[in-house]
Amino acid sequence: MKIIHHKVLAQRYALALYEIADSSDLAEEVFQDMKLLDRVTTQNPELKRILISPIIPPSKKRNILVELFKNKINDISLTFLTLLTIKAREVILHDIVLSFIEIYEQDHHIYEVTIKVAAPISQQNKEKILQKLKPVIPGNIELEVEIDPRLIGGFQLYFDDYLFDASLSKQLRELKKELSENLYIKQI
């Protein structure tokens, strides 16, 4: 018997959902639904526990999902959630959601960029950052700003697997390391 890894299975379900949504010209709506599902499942660990619990019957999980999301998400998305519970795949719901978001963003050339700063920044500064990123990152940029006071000043920029660290805390760490390695250099 062939065992399929959860991530591979999630990608297959996500691709199938994307193809159905795209052929119905509802990909944007379903994308927004998947972002909502991602937020809800991430912010509610109790819901995650319910979905992965082998004790709770699939029919009860289906009823919970329908009650939570009816009138909040598209019919295609709701039907898909129902199908997942019928097929006992609700355990991989979050992986499917993340895979769908990734497929949609790749297909529509949307790039998520996260910038961490020590203090809140103005909308005007966000626009300036976007203008600086546009020549470097082709496509649509979704800029997310996170506040991290540990940075002291400056910023950290996350894009794909890249990190550009221009924070004051990094500069202080590097200075500390340099000073600890070169306490005394004898000059000739």
pLDDT digits 0-9 by tens, 164-178: 999 999 998 998 888
Alpha-carbon torsion, ordered 57, 60, 61, 67, to 10 deg: 180
Q: Do domains 6-106 and 109-181 have the same CATH topology?
A: no
Average pLDDT over residues 70-99: 94
Per-domain residue ranges of the chain: 6-106, 109-181
Measured distance CA(153)–CA(83) in Å, rounded: 49
At residue 29 the predicted structure's pLDDT band, cuts being 50, 70 and 90, is very high
CA angle 89, 111, 169 (to 5 degrees): 105
**DSSP letters of 106-165?**
HHTTEEEEEEEESS---HHHHHHHHHHHTTTS-SEEEEEEEE-GGG-SSEEEEETTEEEE
Architecture of domain 6-106: Orthogonal Bundle (1.10)
Q: What is the pLDDT of residues 93-122, one digit of tens each?
A: 999 999 999 999 999 999 999 999 999 999
Average pLDDT over residues 21-41: 96
pLDDT of residue 1: 46
Average pLDDT over residues 56-85: 94
pLDDT of residue 184: 62
- CATH value of 109-181 in 1.20.81, 1.10.3470, 3.40.30, 2.40.30: 3.40.30
**Helix, strand or coil for residue 40?**
helix
Average pLDDT over residues 141-154: 93
Measured distance CA(21)–CA(16) in Å, rounded: 9
